[in-house]
A and B are shown apart, each in its own frame.
Chain A
Amino acid sequence: MSPLLSVRDLDVKFQITRPGDMPWTRPRYLHAVNGVDFDLEPGKTLGVVGESGCGKSTLARGLIQMVPATGQVLWRGETDLLSLSPRRMKPFRSEIQMVFQDPLASLNPRMTLGRIIAEPLATHRPDISASERRRRVAGMMERVGLLPQMINRYPHEFSGGQCQRIGIARALIAEPKLLICDEPVSALDVSIQAQVVELLKELQRDLGLAMIFIAHDLSVVKNISDEVMVLFLGRIMEKAPKAQLYDNPQHPYTQALLSAVPIPDPVAERAKRIVPMTGDMPSPMNPPSGCVFRGRCPRAQEDCARIVPQPEGGVHRVACLHPGPLQAGEVA
């Protein structure tokens, strides 16, 4: 099957100081996403994990031109989304929809549920009559587990989980092919998280959606993804099918992340051995030379400062000069 989305060498740079601010200021850049590439097939889910500030959300926004990005984002192997003008990008915006992190903040407090959910439909399909639109909105509400008689209510009357369902309904009403979920469950309670994740899986199965699922919770990502990509400072550290990444992580960063996942069993949790990581996240404005992870890596050697490791390998790609399974000396 040909990929729905194939991303090559995606770069997102933000200008921190503008060159014209003062005559002597030189432009400084924050390199938020650096050379990311991946393919996504229809109906599959790519999980994206990483710490705060590693460029997960920026990556998602770069794909749909919400932030200026360079590189290539090939849609169905035909159209490079990054080369399109805003006007020509518009039809693709109905095919790629987003679900946001803060459920309440992503809904306009002055609009009723019906108008919020109908907005993508009203934007992309002005030919659909108002009554038909209302019918579809009611159908979609039922689908995501909301009572259709709530159509005239306002967002502040709903709980976080319900608001996220509204956000999902809005994203799906225009029948997209790709859903970008930007930490859709991070702001929800654990029990509600499970409901929303199950809902997303169910909808994905029924509608054949492809998903990019961003999260910092590895267990949620494990539940929903087919493939998982680990980012650090805007670069891919490791990318592999789910089973391989979780059972046989090769990159020391992935190993450290996985070892930090709490186990819901106190005995096992106490016996668990974690990989300690020292130091802080390096500044993205002034990234370290060579491997960006080397300052926190237990395996860092002298060559790590010289060579920038590229994600190599076929299905299981690791960007590390000294990859390999976890070694005995590295756990505490």
Chain B
Amino acid sequence: MVMTSEQAVEAAALASKPRSPWADARRRFFRNKAALAGLAILVFVVGFALFGNSLAQWSNEELDYNVMGQIVELGGPSFASGHYFGTDDLGRDLFARTVQGTQISLAVGLVGALIACVVGTLYGAVAGYFGGRTDNIMMRLVDIFMAVPYMFVLILLLVMYGRSITILFAGIGLISWMEMARIVRGQTLTIKGREFVEAARATGVSAPIIILRHIVPNLLGVIAVYATLLVPLMILTESFISFLGLGVQEPLTSLGALISEGAGTIAYGTTWQLGFPLLFFCLTLFGLFFVGDGLRDALDPKDR
């Protein structure tokens, strides 16, 4: 049988697997070396946070009475004493403390980004899709909230309701969604003018379903990119709060709190107390930024 070229093309197309836009983006992402390195770093940091405790010789609350009072001489990083990262000023194991700090910092970042994604996306998509007065009221509200200095509000919250991790999560969630809502609204405005949304409206699909089925899936690229860049921002915010001494409360700790402690004692020559938390802090941020960058390249609509 002789195949025309068109039939040959069609046959070839049928032989290949269906490629979703997501599969295309995944391929582009894995071709990006920097993004892969970022991903590897991130996997390492997350692994450290999840499984680091099983490697630790000491718990994060135990005081090592042998090194107490002689931190500078005896509290340094050593395999012999079991303090891989040394001890902090009170003789607590810094390795276990760093594991815990990384856990808390990642959790803060993830919760903040998650709240931003869910609330910000829905808020922005609703405002953008309905437009007109709804849009005006919703976005002016965001403008007003954004005009309030958030650090001030966060500090007030922490002072009023006590320093707890729940309040910290709530406070960070409160501020994180607004920027996302703005970005999503802008993207929604461009998507709602596309013909496939019009086609859905002409067919009689209801507005909530259009938002969830046609608009949000086409926003996911932007959301994913922004969320990965939002996580480090949240971590930084939490670190700043902790650095001010208002963040998580002892015995809990975060990378920001550890860095703050380490910075306070650096004059006595215990550089490891600053170095190790700082290293993990930087690794996390680098990893997230590179992954975010890679995602942006992979999902860029111009390449599609």
List A residues at the B interface (Cβ < 8 Å): 64, 66, 89-90, 93-94, 97-98, 100-102, 105-112, 119-120, 123-124, 147, 149-150, 152-154, 156-157, 167, 170, 174
**How long is the Cα–Cα vector from A107 to B200 in the complex, in angstroms?**
10
Q: B203–A154 contact, CB under 8 A?
A: no
- Chain B neighbourhood of A105, CB < 8 A: 194-196
Known: A108-B218, A154-B20. A170 touches B199 (CB 8 A): yes
Is the Cβ of B196 less than 8 Å from the Cβ of A97?
no
Q: Do A152 and B18 have beta carbons less than 8 Å apart? A: yes
- In the assembled complex, the Cα of A154 lies from the Cα of B304 at a distance in Å of 13
| 8 A Cβ contacts from B164-217 to A | 194-196, 198-205, 209, 213-214, 217
Query: Which residues of B are interface residues toward A (Cβ below 8 A)?
Result: 10, 13-14, 18-21, 194-196, 198-205, 209, 213-214, 217-218, 220, 304
User: In the docked arrangement, what's the CA distance between A147 and B14, Å?
Assistant: 9
Assess whether B19 is in contact with A124, with CB atoms less than 8 Å apart: no
Partner of B214, one of A90, A102, A108: A108
By a CB distance below 8 angstroms, the chain B residues around A152 are: 18
B135 to chain A, nearest CB (A): 14
* Selected contact of B19 from candidates A101, A154, A170, CB within 8 Å: A154
Complex contact B18–A93 (CB within 8 A) = no
Are A90 and B204 in contact, CB atoms less than 8 angstroms apart?
yes
Pick the most buried of B196, B203, B217, B218: most chain A CB atoms within 10 A of its CB. B203
Choose among B13, B195, B204 the residue that contacts A157 (Cβ–Cβ < 8 A). B13
- Contact check, A97 vs B202: say whether CB atoms are below 8 A apart: yes
In the assembled complex, the CB of A124 is this many whole angstroms from the nearest CB of chain B, namely 7
Query: Contacts A109-B218, A157-B19 hold; do A93 and B13 have CB atoms under 8 A apart?
Result: no
Q: Is the CB of B203 within 8 A of A97?
A: yes
Complexed CA–CA distance, A150 and B18 (Å): 8
Contact across chains for A156 and B202 when beta carbons are under 8 A apart:
no
What residues of chain B lie closer than 8 Å to A167, measured between beta carbons?
199
Contacts of B204 in A (CB 8 A): 89-90, 93-94, 120, 123-124
Cβ-neighbour of B304 out of A112, A120, A147, A156 (below 8 A): A156
Min Cβ gap A312→B in Å is 33
On whether A101 and B195 interact (CB within 8 A), knowing A109-B21, A154-B20, the answer reads yes
If A105-B195, A110-B217, A149-B14 touch, whether A64 touches B202 (CB-CB below 8 Å) is yes
Whole-angstrom CA separation of A98 from B69 in the bound complex: 81
Q: State the CA gap A119–B203 with chains docked (Å).
A: 8
Chain B residues with CB under 8 A of A106: 195-196, 198-199
Are A112 and B203 in touch, CB under 8 angstroms? no
B99 to chain A, nearest CB (A): 39
B21 x A154 contact (CB < 8 A): yes
Q: How far is the CA of A152 from the CA of B13 in the complex (A)?
A: 13
- Per a CB cutoff under 8 Å, which of B10, B20, B202, B214 touches A98? B202
Interface contact B218-A120, CB-CB below 8 Å:
no
In Å, the complex CA distance between A102 and B195 comes to 8
Q: Told that A98-B199, A105-B194, A109-B196 touch, could you supply 5 new A-B pairs with CB distance under 8 A? A: A66-B202, A93-B204, A105-B195, A109-B304, A157-B19
The CA-CA distance from A170 to B198 in the complex, in Å, is: 13
Residues of chain A with a CB closer than 8 A to B194's CB: 105
Separation in Å of the A183 CB from the closest CB of chain B?
A: 11
Please give me the residue from chain B that is nearest to A158 by CB atom: B13
Q: Which of B20, B214, B218 has the most CB of A within 10 A?
A: B20
Q: For B195, what are the chain A residues with a Cβ–Cβ distance below 8 Å?
A: 100-102, 105-106
The reply to whether B202 and A107 contact each other, CB–CB distance below 8 Å, is no
A212 to B194: give the CA distance in the assembly, Å.
Answer: 22
CB distance from B133 to the nearest CB of A (A): 11
Partner of B18 from A102, A157, A174 at Cβ < 8 Å: A157
B218 touches A112 (CB 8 A): no
Separation of A66 and B204 alpha carbons in the complex (Å)? 10
Interface pair A108/B196, CB less than 8 Å apart: yes
Across the interface, do B205 and A119 meet the contact criterion of CB distance under 8 Å? Answer: yes
Given A66-B198, A90-B204, A108-B196, the answer on whether A153 and B304 have CB atoms closer than 8 Å is no
Task: Kindly list chain B residues whose C-beta atoms are within 8 Å of the C-beta of A109.
Answer: 21, 196, 218, 304
User: Which B residues are CB-close (under 8 A) to A100?
Assistant: 195, 198-199
Contacts of A111 in B (CB 8 A): 213, 217
Whether the Cβ atoms of B198 and A112 lie closer than 8 Å is no
> Is there contact, CB below 8 Å, between A153 and B18?
yes
**Interchain Cβ contacts under 8 Å between A and B, 16 examples:** A89-B204, A97-B203, A100-B199, A105-B196, A106-B195, A106-B196, A107-B196, A108-B196, A109-B21, A109-B196, A109-B304, A110-B217, A120-B203, A156-B21, A157-B18, A167-B199
